[in-house]
Chain A
């Protein structure tokens, strides 16, 4: 026997999935359930469902700093620190220490990472919306970016498929702008949200306020309980990891489903940095990794490879994957690899107060808010200052003790006042679409990280189109709140945030119809390396204004189905 051949055989699988976040988890689940032997590679450490959610059951007083971030943590998690309390003791173990994995900002960029098994599926915002029909034709209509190679009808059945499994809570609202899906029961709105809904819908034709659609099982179905998932307990502590498995994550959902097949191998702590492209066979044959602890290099082999390392790292791997055929990076004949970075711009909106409804309250903590779907540049609502549109996320509630610091006074009456429910408040903030622009890009810098791998350099901005859109996001918000009867309406338009802050990185390896202008085809296959699939945010040709993760799930399930049927036809 040839020992080398044996060794190689031990490292050979039917498929390799690089990354274990939302899309990687889906790739592993779909491919293993279709009978393929799958290797899932994760660059970070293992993070076990339930037992590694070490802060999940802690009470507020068990955190010595009570939500305040220690200085050392703010420095070591310097990028995370730009996005709120992520370096805090309640949740920093769910994020990545930025000093260990630096990046370079030619222009400022907020890159929030979670390098461990499950990736950002453990800490995502969970809002799950379908793109609508016009999202898929937007690039064609206004000429920004490359046309999507698929349309809504191509993805609709896959949306249904992933929604049923993931468990999306929502109401069937019947709006073309926000297509309905396969929902578990919607969560309730509270009194101020109902008031805002009535006021906005009465005063503005074409504007709607609906309950948010999170990937949280409000009522667990058999498909969920079979995997050990339970209904939401309404603690609103999702970011610490859910010991009930109520929100969708790799750990709660796709991983147990994949493990059940007996076809999955998971290897953590391996940083995949290159797809091995065989110039003789004219296809990819495997991936190269380095162990993050031992720094040992290793090769794994497979018939098909799914890159689900998250937008930036997927492009980063492809850029390092050079060969005779692809001297500028895998699938990069078009020079579009690493370009067209998109995100959602936010931080513009309004808040208001309401004096009435003093006898109303609510029970429980809802890890979900309300949603106002896009209305600008939709139907009759034409805007001159910008193309495309924005939606709002928001919520209402009664003021609590947190407001005390900005109130005058102290002492017994002051304290007593803070123990009672305060005034109602209602707040909405826009999430705006950004345009694909080839000048918004990431590159491999000349600098190396501690594994000798190239450090990413960001060179991206929000773009001119966001300027007018942000004004509308702010003014339209105030107009709606005032029309709904809210008082003391305050507007905001915080321009200090950098691209990436939406944590919706998209683009970098877009799908398209033409290999000259895109990196992937209509089935998420890399042009010229059709046994490599990219189904994370990198694949997005446009950003829509809705939260993108549900679309990654649908694209992944669709691509995995195609990959397996092509394998059977011996086309890969």
Chain B
């Protein structure tokens, strides 16, 4: 049952509360209102970098019996998130890490990353994962897990670890203005840590990830607290 059928079925049980035009308007997607005026970030990846990012994401979340990161369009999502949700210093650190992957590939195997065998790609990224851990150890504070949330204050569907929204803003006590440079010198998230987190997020929140790798039920209709897990049952997408 698709979303339209599902909501129409619920609407039937509600009598006139959801009229046909109403239904149409919420099914046809949204016009974000009250959008603010803001300068877009100049962050952009070149064609080679995009291809490299797509390849890295595919190694992290490969096609198996379910689609991989490439089919799920993860690289484009990562690029957009990097552009809009991260500050210039983190963007630069990310881009530097991306290039370092290629540099390391050429140094070790005399080939760009995209041309390596899967074993070679895995070896390179395993090294980067180790390096990321070492880098993080130098800045333990940055690596703290965000606070576990509770039903009352956590209204968000998900707030992935290390996302910008889990950081408190520092504010000038007199003016209430956010002190923009307060975290200027804050340690940056290591490249591999970030690309892995964003790949996982991008993949499992994609249509392929939700509906093929996981089990997605847009409108469950009921809650059952105790259900026997079926053999091979997939985790719920949301």
Chain A residues near B (Cβ < 8 Å) = 50-51, 53-76, 78, 81-91, 93, 97, 102-108, 123, 125, 127, 187-191, 193-194, 212, 225, 228-239, 243-245, 346-347, 349, 351, 358-369, 393-395, 398, 400-402, 404-406, 408-412, 414-416, 418-422, 427-429, 431, 492, 494, 496-497, 501-503, 547
Q: Tell me the bound Cα distance from A222 to B36 in angstroms.
A: 42
Q: Which residues of A contact B158 (CB under 8 A)?
A: 67, 85, 402
Q: Tell me the bound Cα distance from A494 to B157 in angstroms.
A: 22
Q: Which residues of A contact B216 (CB under 8 A)?
A: 59
Pick the contact of B196: A97, A237, A405 (CB < 8 A). Answer: A405
Task: Identify which of A74, A194, A411, A427 gathers the most chain B CB atoms within 10 Å of its CB.
Answer: A411
Decide if B108 is an interface residue (CB 8 Å cutoff): no
Pick the contact of B233: A67, A72, A361 (CB < 8 A). Answer: A361
Binary flags per residue of B220-233, CB closer than 8 Å to A gives 1, else 0: 11111111110001
| Residue contact A82 to B213, C-beta cutoff 8 Å | no
Minimum CB distance partner of B143 in chain A? A406
Decide if B171 is an interface residue (CB 8 Å cutoff): yes
Within the complex, what minimum Cβ distance (angstroms) separates B202 from chain A? 7
6 nearest A-B residue pairs (beta carbon): A85-B156, A228-B17, A188-B225, A54-B30, A72-B38, A364-B220
Chain B residues near A (Cβ < 8 Å) = 3, 7, 10, 13-18, 22, 25-27, 29-34, 36, 38-39, 41, 59-62, 64, 66, 77, 80-81, 84-87, 122, 125, 129, 145, 147-166, 168-169, 171, 173-178, 180, 193, 196-197, 200-202, 204-207, 210, 213-214, 216-229, 233-238
| Residue contact A75 to B34, C-beta cutoff 8 Å | no
Q: A67-B157, A422-B235 are in contact. Are A492 and B148 (CB under 8 A)?
A: yes
Q: Tell me the bound Cα distance from A524 to B38 in angstroms.
A: 45
| Residue contact B160 to A88, C-beta cutoff 8 Å | no
Secondary structure call for the A interface: loop
| Residue contact A411 to B59, C-beta cutoff 8 Å | yes
| Residue contact A421 to B32, C-beta cutoff 8 Å | no
Within the complex, what minimum Cβ distance (angstroms) separates B162 from chain A? 7
| Residue contact A78 to B226, C-beta cutoff 8 Å | no
Q: Which residues of A contact B176 (CB under 8 A)?
A: 78, 102-105
Q: Tell me the bound Cα distance from A191 to B228 in angstroms.
A: 10
| Residue contact A190 to B226, C-beta cutoff 8 Å | yes
Q: Which residues of B contact A62 (CB under 8 A)?
A: 29
Within the complex, what minimum Cβ distance (angstroms) separates A113 from chain B? 13
Within the complex, what minimum Cβ distance (angstroms) separates A94 from chain B? 9
| Residue contact A230 to B32, C-beta cutoff 8 Å | no
A to B CB contacts below 8 Å, 30 in the list? A59-B218, A60-B237, A61-B205, A65-B80, A66-B81, A67-B156, A70-B85, A76-B38, A83-B153, A85-B165, A87-B165, A91-B156, A97-B34, A104-B176, A105-B171, A106-B174, A191-B225, A194-B225, A239-B156, A244-B10, A346-B152, A351-B148, A364-B224, A408-B129, A410-B60, A410-B125, A429-B149, A497-B168, A503-B153, A547-B152
Q: A103-B176, A547-B152 are in contact. Are A365 and B210 (CB under 8 A)?
A: no
Q: Tell me the bound Cα distance from A350 to B203 in angstroms.
A: 30
Within the complex, what minimum Cβ distance (angstroms) separates A54 from chain B? 3
Q: Tell me the bound Cα distance from A53 to B31 in angstroms.
A: 10
Pick the contact of A233: B17, B147, B219 (CB < 8 A). Answer: B219
Q: Tell me the bound Cα distance from A191 to B18 in angstroms.
A: 36
Q: A61-B210, A74-B165, A108-B173 are in contact. Are A429 and B150 (CB under 8 A)?
A: yes
| Residue contact A68 to B160, C-beta cutoff 8 Å | yes
